[in-house]
């Protein structure tokens, strides 16, 4: 009974980790103009080495071979932002400079941005992007 409870908890944590939802959320903090592409996320750190086996009092330490550290997880994928649809630029026509718009591309995917004057016409500048997978 003492060993089954931690085993059950570990199994539940593993199931929860694999069932996590993947989504993308990008926010640009620039006040005006175009935002730079988002940076590539850093590679995750390598996991720690496993602990040494416990020593038994009164007996010499067992000669166990060293366990190799688990491999590092793969690097996250690069965020690829889609092009801004022409309909989003058209939505800015007739709007005041600095007007904020939140537009939906399809269910679960949308862009937020600001209408700004560029070259004599109003254009949509991306400020946030969200996609739920």
* pLDDT score, position 74: 82
pLDDT per residue as tens, the chain (133 positions): 455 555 555 555 554 444 445 566 767 777 677 777 777 777 778 788 777 767 777 777 666 677 777 888 887 777 778 888 899 999 999 899 999 999 888 888 888 999 998 888 899 998 888 888 7
Structure tokens of 56? 């038994």
pLDDT of residue 8: 56
Q: Which pLDDT score is estimated for 20? A: 47
Token representation of residue 25? 């959320």
End-to-end CA distance of the chain: 39
DSSP per residue, 34-100 = PPPPPPPPPPPPPPPPPPPPPPPTTSPPP--PPPPPPPPPPPPPPP-PPPPPHHHHHHHTTPPTT-E
**DSSP assignment letter at 12:** H
**pLDDT at residue 79, as a whole number:** 75
What is the model's pLDDT at position 11?
54
Pick the closest to residue 89 from 39, 123, 40, 51 (CA basis).
Answer: 123
φ and ψ at residue 8, rounded to 5 degrees: -65, -45
């Amino acid at each position: 009974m003492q060993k089954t409870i931690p085993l059950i908890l570990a199994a539940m944590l593993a199931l929860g980790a694999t069932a996590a939802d993947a989504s993308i959320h990008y926010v640009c903090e620039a006040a005006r103009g175009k935002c730079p592409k988002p940076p590539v996320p850093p590679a995750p750190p390598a996991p720690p080495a496993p602990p040494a086996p416990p020593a038994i009092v009164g007996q010499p330490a067992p000669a166990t071979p060293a366990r190799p550290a688990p491999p590092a997880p793969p690097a996250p994928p690069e965020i690829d932002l889609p092009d801004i649809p022409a309909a989003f630029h058209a939505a800015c026509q007739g709007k005041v400079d600095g007007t904020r718009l939140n537009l939906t591309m399809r269910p679960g995917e949308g862009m937020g941005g600001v209408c700004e004057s560029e070259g004599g016409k109003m254009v949509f500048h991306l400020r946030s992007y969200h996609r739920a997978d």
